[in-house]
Amino acid sequence: MELSKSEKDKLFIERLELMNEYIVHKYQMETLVKSGCLHLAKARYIARRPNYISTLQLPTSDTTKDIKALYHVTSIQEEDCPNEDEEIDKENDTNKENLPPSKGKSDKEEPISKTSSFELIKHEKELKENNPLKWFGVLVSQSLKSGQTDFQKCIELSIHIANLQLKLQRLDSKLG
């Protein structure tokens, strides 16, 4: 399907806007990582007490503490709105039926091209029960809390960046 010049112009403008947003968010993530590392270093410097934190307090494979993820990432597929890509995928699926099954890949893996976006699921219950800041005692320095907040923002921002990348890939496939 051939696109008109005005449609291509709109797609290129949208692509440039997405690229700008992508670059801005990557810079924000870089800044947050630097800030988080700085806060952790500051917390370590401030807490020069010998019993403040030791390797015995951190969970290892030998300990009985269960570590549960505070965040999970899920991929969301848009099944309601069929598009050109799905038609192409159906054609490719009929061609793949004649081929032998590939080794090393499971049927459960969903290709990134079929993913419409990623979603971050935050487990508030686990955060309250298994907050890693509790490993450092009752009175935790503000630097340590700030570092944790910065890294949590990085997780959320990385999901947003991944969604921007998916949008850019879809735009490239429309333009290509």
Residue 22 lies in a domain: yes
Residue 169 lies in a domain: yes
**Which residue would you say has higher pLDDT here, 60 or 157?**
157
Residue 103 lies in a domain: no
Give the distance, in angstroms, between the CA of residue 139 and the centroid of all CA atoms in the same chain.
31
> Are 172 and 68 in contact, with CB atoms under 8 Å apart?
no
> Are 10 and 175 in contact, with CB atoms under 8 Å apart?
no
Residue 12 lies in a domain: yes
Q: Which of 9, 4, 12 has its CA nearest to residue 171?
A: 12
Q: Read off the pLDDT of residues 76-128 as tens digits, 9 standing for 90 and up.
A: 887 644 444 443 344 334 333 333 343 344 444 455 556 688 888 888 777 77
Q: Read off the pLDDT of residues 136-155 as tens digits, 9 standing for 90 and up.
A: 777 888 998 999 999 999 99
Residue 146 lies in a domain: yes
Domain count, the chain: 1
Sequence-separated (6 or more) residues with CB below 8 Å from residue 129: none
Which residue range(s) make up the domain with 157? 1-49+131-176
